[in-house]
Structures are given as structure tokens and as C-alpha cells.
Amino acid sequence: MLTKKQHELICFIADRLEESGVSPSFEEMKDALDLKSKSGVHRLISALEERGFLRRLPNRARALEVLRMPERAETAKKPVAAPTIGGKALGAAAPARSLPQPANDVIEVPLHGRIAAGTPIEALEGTEILPVPAALLGPGDHYALEVAGDSMVEAGIFDGDYALIRRAEDARDGEIVVALIDDAEATLKYFRREGGMVRLDPANRSYDPQRYRPDQVRVQGRLAGLLRRY
């Protein structure tokens, strides 16, 4: 049997998911239940998880899934049969309420910093977290980098954008990659092989292609998507 507050919380979450597809924040749940702190919300959610009513989706911010709803007033009542005439029901029973599905799938990826000359990717790891809609990412391990400069503007990548990168150690010709040059400089460019060299092409006519020996270039990942703040 759920407590009154547990019952109120799961109904509030289910209603919000049904209305907008987005789980309420802990602050919103605290206010809705008139609790003094968010720690009370954490305890209620943990209790609902233990009883099999809720599930927290891993690696996703504010994503809760309602697994089942409590019976009305926590009592199992037998359904009342609809009146019939000649064996035909006068009114059909209301359909059972379907459980709302969370549409706010958000994956938290590490934001390693800016793609800046003289700063290896490894030195930027573990600094911040960037929430990213799951629809922008496919399978694999991802991280984000803030773009610095205008060398890729003709590809629609601007200074201040967040490049979403799928980790990879190789690339096909024509793919946009994060390349680490001489273990010192990270850059976002088109990757191409030219004879026995690696050519990194900008998407800006004001800049020239860069050519390196294969041993000078390490692919750190391939571009999977972009985020932009206005």
C-alpha cells in the first residue's frame, strides 16, 4: 500500500508525462507535494522504485518512467458490470488508462571543452556535463566539444556551437572528424587521404587544407550532431 504522498507523487508524474511527455523536475515535485526539501522527493521516488511503480532511466536527466499505476484509493474493487438489455450492454466500461511514456529522453555526455590549438582532447576530459536529446545521438560512446573559430562555417558549424562527437579511431574520406595533430592540437575538419598523406580540409574558403603524415594525425571521433544556443 502506498502512502498518501507516494500516491500523490506518482499521479503527478503520470499526469505531467501524459500532458507534455516531460518528467517534472525535483523542484516542481517538491512544490506540488508541499514538501520542505527535495530530499523528501528523492525518498518518495526511491520508495516507488522499490515497489515497482517507477523506474529512473539511466544516464538521462529528469527521465522517469511510470511502470504501473496504483489502484484507485489503493483498494482492489471488483468492476461493476454495465446494465444490459437483451444481453447488450448499455454503456461500455471506460478504457484503462495507458501508462505515459517518457518523451524527454536526455543523455548526459561529457563536455570536454573548446577545440582550441595547443590543447589535447585528453587534457579536457571530465570537466562538465552537457544534456543532449537522445534523438540526436545514435549508438556508441559520445562526448561534446565547444567549437572555436570559423574554419567550418560553410558546413554550418559556427563558433560557439557544441559538436557532438561519436568516439572513433578511424574515418572514411569526407567525414568530419576531431583530429589530434602531433598529440598537441585538436581540430574539427573534413578527413581525406591524399596519396600517402592525410589531408584535413576546412569548410571556409579563407583557409587552406592542412596536410600531415599519417603518424602525425590521430582521429578522436566523428561528428554525430550539433547543438546551438541562441
Q: Which residues are catalytic?
A: 151, 189
3-state secondary structure of 43: helix
Strand-pair partners of 201 = 190
Q: How far is CA 150 from each of CA 13, 123, 189, 201, rounded to the nearest angstrom?
A: 44, 23, 11, 13
The Cα–Cα gap between 14 and 68 comes to: 10
The Cα–Cα gap between 101 and 34 comes to: 26
The Cα–Cα gap between 22 and 28 comes to: 12
Residue 149 region by backbone torsions, left for phi larger than 0, else alpha for psi between -120 and 50, else beta: left
